[in-house]
A and B are shown apart, each in its own frame.
Chain A
């Protein structure tokens, strides 16, 4: 046993020595990486760590932070009804728009891919543009205006489907649904581009081999040939979709107001802004941020392990 430990220690020490030597040899590499690494640490790693730290404190910027243990989290879950609404809304939005947007991205990319080149270019532009068009989604506020002059209301009333105008953006019953439509409209983002590009790179000869082996229709082709080839892009797209789905706040804030009626359109991020930048309860806001961070990371990991099984 003793011998074994000794050997292990020696091995580790040697490994360490080799590492140090390697590090010395690649000084220039570190020099190249340094500017990015420093800034990245400052604005990405440090904030996450300090957010976790502050979440265990009471901190309002004026006084120095006071350690209060997990009190923030207890308050979040047991006392903050609005937070629970926010969580519920965020999950609802994420569960519906996330997968739907993801599937839409892939489906459209896949269908566009078989078009002739010029049509494909137009297709990519048409589908991608809403996600980069800034705040154009405000136009939906005109479509869904609550009076009889709102276009959707007018259309539905003329068609005889509804008798009186619906308050789309102020009635808690409809707010989230309208927001989801808008979010879906904007959901063909970076992931979509990645899919389009990835589909271009799938090896043609594999399809031919597939025909020989008896792939019968486009759906089999999709499942047995295209999807397995696209795995890395699917992963990347999933990361983008999840990050976006849980970070919803712009759309709900712009369309339903901030705060929205009965908090029916409040999301976790809106709640975070409320506590962080309106009430300056940084400790509490950090607890919200940390919760959101954990949700995002866990979802990403879960989805990735799921995606590994695609096409097998």
Chain B
């Protein structure tokens, strides 16, 4: 017990020393000034979000109040209720939209995770001809936006007969270069000796992948899942899916949102519902994501 405390005090005194050492390059006034500016920027960043959330809680008479109040005086959930009523009235049920989005997100993310980590594993840990070239191409693919390939993508998907099916969104999501890139960079951090030891013990490629590598890259898993979920959750899929019963939640919600001034309250509720999922997921997994991003650097 006493040993533990002793260790702790040593640790903290060491810590203090480092802090003291760090002081010379930091002026007190500078610190305050800089963090004050940072604080102002932070306020500016959250202001629209807070405003969106608070206006979704405002009753109708407060929504059109002028000058506006930042916080609702009598917060209600009326807007959300109205939203469910409106959704309930449409001939495609609300649950169907939710199912569509959840299905697309779940299948797309799972497939992406499996396929990208399979590829990343061999790219990170083995040496074979063509590996460098392939990875260079993947990195190049990070350099252009999805919009560039929108048209040929549409042609390819229509040739495959996937227009107006979920696959039009799910399958291309499997091959997102960002996932493979992050996974590969993170896997490179696993010591090669671990893999070699398993090899000597007679494990095949599949076993090494399942037993050694995958359990060791959990943060990368999570990051991949989160990026993929964010991407698919916000996917409107407007170019690929036409039938109402296959439309995604975000798309359906945006149709409500464009319903004019009478739906101002509901529109605010929509905004909150759409943003709450990716944000919650991010907040819950922030430290894991940062751990993965630490290896995201592009080496020459």
* A interface residues, Cβ below 8 angstroms from B: 19, 22-23, 26, 28-30, 32-33, 35-37, 39-40, 42-48, 50-51, 54, 61, 108, 111-112, 115, 121, 123-130, 132-140, 143, 149, 151, 154, 185, 188, 190, 193-194, 196-198, 200-201, 204, 207-208, 211, 215-218, 220-221, 230-233, 235-236, 239-240, 242-244, 246-247, 249, 269, 272-273, 276-277, 282, 285-286, 289, 292-293, 296-297, 300, 304, 308
> Which B-chain residue is minimally distant from A270 (CB atoms)?
B147
B62-120 residues at the A interface, CB under 8 angstroms: 66-68, 115-116, 118-119
Distance A247 CA – B274 CA, assembled complex (angstroms): 22
The answer to the question of B275 belonging to the interface, with a C-beta cut-off of 8 Å to chain A, is yes
Asked if A197 meets B296 with Cβ closer than 8 Å, knowing A134-B275, A289-B150, A293-B148, the reply is yes
Tell whether, in the assembled complex, residue B21 and residue A211 are in contact, meaning their CB atoms are under 8 Å apart. yes
A56 → chain B closest CB, angstroms? 14
> Which B-chain residue is minimally distant from A28 (CB atoms)?
B205
The answer to the question of B28 belonging to the interface, with a C-beta cut-off of 8 Å to chain A, is no
- Sample of 14 more A-B contacts, CB < 8 Å, known A51-B151, A123-B38: A26-B129, A29-B128, A33-B122, A35-B119, A43-B153, A51-B152, A135-B250, A137-B48, A190-B227, A194-B293, A217-B25, A236-B297, A247-B147, A276-B150
Tell whether, in the assembled complex, residue A136 and residue B48 are in contact, meaning their CB atoms are under 8 Å apart. yes
Tell whether, in the assembled complex, residue A48 and residue B149 are in contact, meaning their CB atoms are under 8 Å apart. yes
B278 CB contact (under 8 Å) in A23, A133, A239, A285: A133
B31 → chain A closest CB, angstroms? 9
Distance A293 CA – B27 CA, assembled complex (angstroms): 46
A215 → chain B closest CB, angstroms? 7
Interface digits, B211-254 against A, CB 8 Å rule (1 contact, 0 not)? 00000000000000001001001100001000000000010001
B286 CB contact (under 8 Å) in A125, A198, A233, A249: A125
- Label chain A's interface by main secondary structure: helix
Tell whether, in the assembled complex, residue A218 and residue B298 are in contact, meaning their CB atoms are under 8 Å apart. no
Tell whether, in the assembled complex, residue B294 and residue A200 are in contact, meaning their CB atoms are under 8 Å apart. yes
Which 8 residue pairs of A and B lie closest in terms of their CB atoms, listed nearest first? A232-B297, A36-B119, A247-B145, A47-B149, A197-B293, A47-B152, A39-B175, A26-B128
Distance A45 CA – B42 CA, assembled complex (angstroms): 40
On chain A, the residues within 8 Å of B127 by CB distance are: 26
Asked if A130 meets B151 with Cβ closer than 8 Å, knowing A138-B257, A217-B25, the reply is no
B275 CB contact (under 8 Å) in A126, A133, A208: A133
Tell whether, in the assembled complex, residue A32 and residue B156 are in contact, meaning their CB atoms are under 8 Å apart. no
B201 → chain A closest CB, angstroms? 17
A284 → chain B closest CB, angstroms? 10
On chain B, the residues within 8 Å of A45 by CB distance are: 137, 141
> Which A-chain residue is minimally distant from B130 (CB atoms)?
A23
Tell whether, in the assembled complex, residue A134 and residue B25 are in contact, meaning their CB atoms are under 8 Å apart. no
On chain A, the residues within 8 Å of B141 by CB distance are: 40, 44-45
**Could you give 6 example pairs across A and B, Cβ below 8 Å?**
A33-B134, A45-B141, A47-B149, A125-B282, A136-B52, A292-B147
Asked if A218 meets B26 with Cβ closer than 8 Å, knowing A22-B128, A37-B134, the reply is yes
Tell whether, in the assembled complex, residue A296 and residue B144 are in contact, meaning their CB atoms are under 8 Å apart. yes
Tell whether, in the assembled complex, residue A197 and residue B290 are in contact, meaning their CB atoms are under 8 Å apart. yes
A28 → chain B closest CB, angstroms? 5
B230 CB contact (under 8 Å) in A132, A136, A143, A293: A132
Tell whether, in the assembled complex, residue A130 and residue B49 are in contact, meaning their CB atoms are under 8 Å apart. yes
Tell whether, in the assembled complex, residue B149 and residue A297 are in contact, meaning their CB atoms are under 8 Å apart. no
Interface digits, B159-200 against A, CB 8 Å rule (1 contact, 0 not)? 000000000000110110110100000000000000000000
On chain A, the residues within 8 Å of B129 by CB distance are: 19, 22-23, 26
The answer to the question of B10 belonging to the interface, with a C-beta cut-off of 8 Å to chain A, is no
Tell whether, in the assembled complex, residue A126 and residue B25 are in contact, meaning their CB atoms are under 8 Å apart. no
* B interface residues, Cβ below 8 angstroms from A: 18, 21-22, 24-27, 30, 34-35, 38, 41-42, 44-46, 48-49, 51-52, 66-68, 115-116, 118-119, 121-123, 126-131, 134, 137-138, 140-156, 171-172, 174-175, 177-178, 180, 204-205, 209, 227, 230, 233-234, 239, 250, 254, 257, 267, 271, 274-275, 278-279, 282-283, 286-287, 289-294, 296-300
Tell whether, in the assembled complex, residue B25 and residue A296 are in contact, meaning their CB atoms are under 8 Å apart. no
Asked if A243 meets B145 with Cβ closer than 8 Å, knowing A197-B293, A198-B297, A218-B26, the reply is yes
B114 → chain A closest CB, angstroms? 8
> Which A-chain residue is minimally distant from B279 (CB atoms)?
A129
> Which B-chain residue is minimally distant from A36 (CB atoms)?
B119
On chain B, the residues within 8 Å of A220 by CB distance are: 25
Tell whether, in the assembled complex, residue B283 and residue A272 are in contact, meaning their CB atoms are under 8 Å apart. no
B175 CB contact (under 8 Å) in A43, A130, A249: A43
B144 → chain A closest CB, angstroms? 5
Distance A242 CA – B144 CA, assembled complex (angstroms): 9
A207 → chain B closest CB, angstroms? 7
Distance A208 CA – B20 CA, assembled complex (angstroms): 11
Tell whether, in the assembled complex, residue B296 and residue A236 are in contact, meaning their CB atoms are under 8 Å apart. yes
B228 → chain A closest CB, angstroms? 13
Distance A203 CA – B134 CA, assembled complex (angstroms): 32
Distance A22 CA – B175 CA, assembled complex (angstroms): 26
Distance A14 CA – B221 CA, assembled complex (angstroms): 41
Distance A132 CA – B229 CA, assembled complex (angstroms): 11
A233 → chain B closest CB, angstroms? 5
Tell whether, in the assembled complex, residue B45 and residue A127 are in contact, meaning their CB atoms are under 8 Å apart. yes
Tell whether, in the assembled complex, residue B128 and residue A108 are in contact, meaning their CB atoms are under 8 Å apart. no
On chain A, the residues within 8 Å of B172 by CB distance are: 39, 43
On chain B, the residues within 8 Å of A149 by CB distance are: 66
Q: Which of A215, A218, A304 has the most CB of B within 10 A?
A: A218
> Which A-chain residue is minimally distant from B149 (CB atoms)?
A47
> Which B-chain residue is minimally distant from A38 (CB atoms)?
B175
Distance A86 CA – B171 CA, assembled complex (angstroms): 32
